[in-house]
Structure 1
Amino acid sequence: MTQRIQIEEIVEESNQGRSGGVFRCIGDDEESYFLKGLGVGRPDLAKEWICANLAKAFGLPVAGFALADVCITMCESFSQDWQRRIGHGTCFASREVKNVQWLEPGTMSAAVPEPLQNDLLVFDRWIRNEDRTRGNTNLLWVPHQDKLVVIDHNMAFDPDFETASFFQHHIFAAAIERVFSDLASIAEYQARMQAALADFHQWAEIAQNEWPWLDLEETREFELDSDALFAILNEYTSDKFWSMP
């Protein structure tokens, strides 16, 4: 069942991540969320939604997320800048995790269990996400629980994705040998990927229905090429996908 919330308050613009356009807000469930809206772009919101669901189905510790409604009356109360960057209608909300730190690769990455490092490397390769590097991890660490939280997938399905660059810069690049040279691991991942894709078309349909327009004035249609995204995700079945860089 798709979780949906109504945004009751925009608290402030957040410095979470490095792409900008993220706002801390309160939902009608009284939980705190980080909101991405119009400024991120509807295509990126669709990718964020699809990949958050895919990450959860794959078994990653992704932050809780929901589709979030911003009413037009609230939007009209914003400054012009916020109206342009938040908009109204459906946004994407990632639930705030309390008492976390931005994962620093030099001091914290060794605390992440190797199986989870492996999972993240494979998942990001799968969705063509080059936006999880040593300089910008897009990972949160809960120190009192020794727990990793995964966020931020709106840069997935990168049309300029380069495999060599991905493996060179990924925060868990050291996992390459553990995964991509082990036939048993590859077989296990292929089974997990196949299972995780079971609801892909449902997620894509929701994204298309929620974001049919690129603009608030509804003058430019947005058509999600779900077939192209599904084809990218099915590359895991090829030997080339698993070849060593």
Structure 2
Amino acid sequence: MPYSTPPRLIQLTEVIRVAEQGMTKPILCRAEDGRRYYVKGQQTDRASLWREWIAGYMALALGLPIAPFVLVQANEFVLRELSSELRLLGSTPAFGSAERENATWYENSLSHQVDARVRQAVLVFDWWVKNGDRQVGNTNMLWETIPERLVIIDHNQAFDDEFDTVAFVENHVFASEWDALTQDAELRAAWTHRMSQALVVARWALENAPHEWRWANAEQDIPAAYDPERALRMLSRCVEPDFWSVR
């Protein structure tokens, strides 16, 4: 993944419908590249966009199977033809997660088909970004049938100030990997190295996010009630001695 140039902003050509699932009400859209994306724009808050964006790049940096994501935008010409519900998408840059056409919602019965290394990677990632929103019964994961593989989605609740470490270890969909991970010093050290190396990507993601996200409104006269530097401070704790502690 190159980090030398700013990410491309892709224009939306069609706004289709509100997704059937998702508390942030993503909107299914078609973009100029021909792909369909579930888009989170002005119908959600700025904190959700920052969390999706930074967590997305952390997932990429760790090699996780995350659905491809891009920056997308609907111009006023597209918006003016929409219903009031769809027009909530807004015209500022938005977060688009690619639709996975050959995917269904992940069921816990599929766990044995997921490589143990992938299960562990998802567990480490969610612990690192303080994402407690991947539990049994609400996994925020998809299962692609061609080829058979896991796909993670929805990180709008990452970087949670109220992250409950005990509940995480008890309820995460891949919690069964926790003991094997934390009891292996070499394994922990390898993950710490990977996470520390990825911190430079986190900084790049912050600096290359849309400047509009720093404002709460399209007029850009009300600062957003979210400081993305907080996310980077949370990520940097990966090198601290008590990073793996459950308390």
TM-score, structure 2 length as denominator? Answer: 0.92
Aligned residues: 242
> Which of 100, 104, 116 is the equivalent residue of 1:101?
104
> Which of 51, 63, 66 is the equivalent residue of 1:47?
51
User: Per-residue displacement from partner, 1:65-102 (whole Å, max 9, x unpaired)?
Assistant: 10001112322332222223x11110100111121110
TM-aligned CA deviation for residue 20 of structure 1: 4.1
| AA of the residue aligned to 2:26 | V
SS in structure 1 at match of 2:80:
helix
| AA of the residue aligned to 2:10 | I
1:64 aligns with 68
| AA of the residue aligned to 2:185 | L
SS in structure 1 at match of 2:11:
strand
| AA of the residue aligned to 1:54 | M
Question: Partners in 1 of 2:161 and 2:30 — Cα distance?
Answer: 34
Question: Partners in 2 of 1:108 and 1:69 — Cα distance?
Answer: 36
Of Structure 1 and Structure 2, which has the larger fraction of its residues in helix?
1
Are the aligned partners of 1:167 and 1:173 in contact in 2 as well (CA < 8 Å)?
yes
Question: Partners in 1 of 2:152 and 2:212 — Cα distance?
Answer: 24
Question: Partners in 1 of 2:225 and 2:76 — Cα distance?
Answer: 23
Q: Does 1:237 align with 2:243?
A: no
| AA of the residue aligned to 1:75 | L
| AA of the residue aligned to 1:11 | I
1:111 aligns with 113
Question: Partners in 1 of 2:125 and 2:179 — Cα distance?
Answer: 15
1:177 aligns with 179
2:223 aligns with 221
Question: Partners in 1 of 2:229 and 2:90 — Cα distance?
Answer: 28
SS in structure 2 at match of 1:179:
helix
SS in structure 2 at match of 1:240:
coil
User: Per-residue displacement from partner, 1:205-232 (whole Å, max 9, x unpaired)?
Assistant: 2225141321234331126523322221
Are the aligned partners of 1:181 and 1:244 in contact in 2 as well (CA < 8 Å)?
no
TM-aligned CA deviation for residue 244 of structure 1: 5.1
Identity %: 32
| AA of the residue aligned to 1:234 | S
Question: Partners in 2 of 1:220 and 1:75 — Cα distance?
Answer: 23
| AA of the residue aligned to 1:154 | N
TM-aligned CA deviation for residue 204 of structure 1: 0.8
> Which of 91, 94, 117 is the equivalent residue of 1:91?
94
SS in structure 1 at match of 2:186:
helix
SS in structure 2 at match of 1:110:
helix
Structure 2, unaligned runs of 5 or more:
none
2:144 aligns with 142
Q: Does 1:11 align with 2:16?
A: yes
Are the aligned partners of 2:24 and 2:40 in contact in 1 as well (CA < 8 Å)?
no
TM-score, structure 1 length as denominator? Answer: 0.93
